Structure 1
């Protein structure tokens, strides 16, 4: 008895292109579509979060839109090898409570692992929270800059 043919798996390049378009056009309403790109049990980790499952990952991105003004990603580079990829990006946003309207930029990178269906199973973000975020905050920033000067002297 012949087995039915399963649909062809998306190439990693195609899947990565879809992920890039998704993040570069992400909106509060678009967060609900995350399950179309991520496996149900996908894991996500960044300097502040470590979660598993699409609802938990959606929660992180929903919170981003609640906490920041006009957050958006610009992917600046990508390397794809096998079922993995590494993306470099700029994350642009404005704080809601101070420096209102001043665009801030965090530069970082993401390591993605995709399954045979082209869905993300692991999304790990790498960025320096001290340099890219804490130094931009009023009180904490002064302390971080002072610590940095002390460490470099």
Structure 2
């Protein structure tokens, strides 16, 4: 009995030790975000056309337009994180968006608001002073396990632009549990249960 208990404790300790290492990929983007904010230093404030061009690009995202439009939207070297993946160059982002468009039946993005830096923020934060925040509504329709799924979410994109109007820094703040996780076979039921009960007074 004592031997079995000791083995169980050893197995748990080994599992916890494995979990203590720094996670890679989407779960570790906080440190990358804080490091990459320096890209915003010296950025240019976008004009209305730059913002509208960005929204048009993602609204009705289609495979055919990505190759021709992405050089206008994004700089060659960049930071991009949509809470699911972190990328650092335009070619990788182009491939990511092509794969996303292939899996979507339909997508629409509507701009709700444009937020500029506020005096209430940290006056010494030069990174924040150069950023623009877009508040958006997104609908995406896709097929999963032979069934049509509809995702309807809200999000915010923090953007920094160069003097050519290209995005050099793109961080999305988006609830993937509402947009994606609830449709997955294993994560869906507990995600919907937690959301239902957390919304109940």
Shorter-normalised TM range: 0.7 to 0.9
Larger mean CA deviation between 88-97 and 16-25 belongs to 16-25
| 3-state DSSP of counterpart to 1:62 | helix
Q: Is the 8 A contact 1:64 1:71 kept in 2?
A: no
Name the residue aligned to 1:118: 165
- Which protein has the bigger helix share? 2
- Ranges in structure 1 where 5+ consecutive residues have no aligned partner: 1-8
| 3-state DSSP of counterpart to 1:113 | strand
For residues 39-54 of structure 1, the aligned pairs below 5 Å read: 39-54=75-90
In the alignment, structure 1 residue 26 sits paired with structure 2 residue 61: yes
| 3-state DSSP of counterpart to 1:103 | strand
In the alignment, structure 1 residue 16 sits paired with structure 2 residue 51: yes
TM-score by length of structure 2 reads 0.61
TM-score by length of structure 1 reads 0.78
**CA distance, structure 1, for counterparts of residue 97 and residue 174 of structure 2:** 16
**How large is the RMSD of aligned CA atoms in angstroms?**
2.7
**CA distance, structure 2, for counterparts of residue 143 and residue 11 of structure 1:** 41
Shift, 1:21, TM fit: 2.5
- Ranges in structure 2 where 5+ consecutive residues have no aligned partner: 1-43, 118-128
Aligned length: 144
Larger radius of gyration: 2
Name the residue aligned to 2:5: none
Q: Is the 8 A contact 2:74 2:167 kept in 1?
A: yes
Q: Is the 8 A contact 2:135 2:157 kept in 1?
A: yes
Larger mean CA deviation between 11-20 and 108-117 belongs to 11-20
Shift, 1:111, TM fit: 0.6
- Which protein has the bigger strand share? 1
Shift, 1:87, TM fit: 0.9
Shift, 1:52, TM fit: 1.0
Q: Is the 8 A contact 2:78 2:168 kept in 1?
A: yes
Q: Is the 8 A contact 2:181 2:191 kept in 1?
A: yes
Name the residue aligned to 2:103: 67
Larger mean CA deviation between 70-79 and 30-39 belongs to 70-79
